[in-house]
A and B are shown apart, each in its own frame.
Chain A
């Protein structure tokens, strides 16, 4: 049988997804994330994992180089690729927020000065967010250390992900508004979803059971 290829983001999300697959009965051993290995195979379940940079996961899936992928909703929206979104895994929760300097007098994004500069890794989402509020801003695309921008005067505000808000606080920033909540999603190539429909559906059902029971557990 042909292997199902799953593109996974390197980093913390990887281990959570492996645990989820294990609980769903798909992996009977834990796959070690070895930073030098880019492909991991599990013969028993017929799954093959490729480890990619998170922003590249949707690309692997869109071209069909991977049948499935796991990626944060933030990246998925930003990359805007033609893929099916099958399941909210509930993992890797974070918020995409607009943040400003702690001592800023602003209480609402509409108070941002005309043509404010906004630094972000997410120019598409940020552009849509401000456009839908009728606000005109200058987007500055950065690739990392976004928190630096307001401190050194590169931008009036940033749009970035935060989970506990600690990094923001440490850099003298605070949340001004929430853009959206993000969790990891299971995505599929549209053609793989058709051709391997049965196997993918079974996998989704098994994973959904685990996700639902864990969510139920958290609420108690």
Chain B
């Protein structure tokens, strides 16, 4: 195709000025929340060794791979958690714990673009390293709530679950590895038809059958945990105790209106070891943020450290805000400035002073422009014109008359 060079590659997109401004605004709000909890931003390379992602149990089929000039196989990063685990293991072993890190980065996955999936997308997220236990799990969920609130998302929901529950049921069933994987896959996909078939064919124990097929019905508040204790036939299950404590802490923080306990929440990523979470809104048919505890990942790289975290998709966040009509853009109105042929340094200084005070001022560079314009006249005065209105002012008056909001320098 002749004009192919004008198209963006499949699954990749441009952000035009308006969208890019929104994105920066939303990222700033989220960043402020992360840093207010003491999460420090880190930046990792866009390219990593392919071997890193293979070790991180990621689906490496989705990676864009390259062979560099030394013959090394590199990949565009497919997630942020694995590179951050690498960074912590290789460079921050001496850092005092708990370690709180956050990131904003673009990721690449080679997938067929469909609902909410682009091949390049941006994630904002946090990792809380070096602490086990429900207090850390609760902090991560709380942070997700606060970040979504700060971004201006209305009416979002966050589900929390625990991989320990499904794993315990499955280990009790003592199944073949392949059957176990198939049941897990059916739970992840919420394919209840296949789930029921597999459970009926492979499990004899009635209680266990009921528990596995009933998991997706276990949704709600604390009551769900009682029901789960019945299904598990154990009211001291550590996973349930962990969830109860996480929920209690979120309740104390006044966040329970966002939270649903969902024992059927099973994630595709294999690296999760404890509490898992997923956030969504009605406006979007797929999740907005996602995360959980992954206590073994860093150990695989040689530094045994418990860890938990979450990531949200910035692109999806913007989509939700737009659909909710909440993308208020506080872009300041810009003014044009027209300098005389022989511009003088006091004029440049004055305009610079207004800019520093917060005004947006663009040099018209001698072109005919539309919109409010400040013109330096040969008389030493300043003319302000906008449409049919024309005003002559003393340069010293301009700031108070035209930019009252900026509050002076």
Contacts and interface: CB of A to CB of B under 8 A. Distances in A.
Interface stretch (B74-82, B88-96, B229-237, B283-291): B283-291
Contact of A84 (B189, B260, B262, B282): B189
Contact of A201 (B159, B217, B260): B217
B61 to A, nearest CB: 15
B190 A190 contact: yes
A81 B282 contact: no
B115 to A, nearest CB: 5
Contacts of B189: 84-85
Interface string A122-154: 000000000000000000000000000000000
A193 interface: yes
A185 interface: yes
A188 B219 CA distance: 16
A47 to B, nearest CB: 18
Contacts of A188: 190
Contacts, number: 59
Interface in B152-206: 157, 159, 189-194
A190 B192 contact: no
B12 to A, nearest CB: 20
Given A82-B114, A195-B157, A190 B286 contact: yes
Interface in A156-212: 185, 188-195, 197, 201
A191 B115 contact: no
A191 B193 contact: no
Given A191-B280, A197-B219, A85 B286 contact: no
A87 B192 CA distance: 7
B260 A85 contact: no
Contacts of B219: 194, 197
A29 B175 CA distance: 47
Contact of B193 (A62, A63, A88, A190): A88
Interface residues of B, number: 21
A64 B316 CA distance: 14
Given A194-B159, A194-B260, A201-B217, A64 B191 contact: no
A86 B286 contact: no
Contact of A189 (B157, B159, B281, B285): B285
A62 B287 CA distance: 12
Contacts of A82: 114-115, 286
A63 B285 contact: yes
Given A82-B115, A194-B260, A195-B157, A62 B285 contact: yes
A50 to B, nearest CB: 15
Nearest to A183: B193
A188 B190 CA distance: 9
Nearest to A86: B192
Contacts of B159: 194
B407 to A, nearest CB: 45
A190 B285 contact: yes
A178 B282 CA distance: 41
Contacts of A185: 193
B285 A64 contact: yes
Nearest to B190: A84
A195 B114 contact: no
B280 A193 contact: no
Contacts of B287: 190-191
Contacts of B191: 84-85
A217 B253 CA distance: 54
Residue from A85, A188, A189, A201 having most chain B Cβ neighbours under 10 A: A85
B285 A192 contact: yes
B114 A62 contact: yes
Interface of A: 61-65, 81-82, 84-88, 185, 188-195, 197, 201
Given A81-B114, A82-B115, A195-B157, 15 more contacts: A61-B285, A64-B286, A81-B115, A84-B190, A84-B191, A85-B189, A85-B194, A86-B190, A86-B193, A87-B193, A88-B193, A185-B193, A190-B286, A191-B280, A201-B217
25 contacts: A61-B285, A62-B285, A62-B286, A63-B115, A63-B285, A64-B284, A64-B286, A81-B115, A82-B114, A82-B115, A85-B191, A85-B192, A85-B194, A86-B192, A87-B192, A188-B190, A190-B190, A190-B286, A190-B287, A191-B284, A191-B286, A194-B157, A194-B280, A195-B280, A201-B217
Interface of B: 114-115, 157, 159, 189-194, 217, 219, 260, 262, 280-282, 284-287
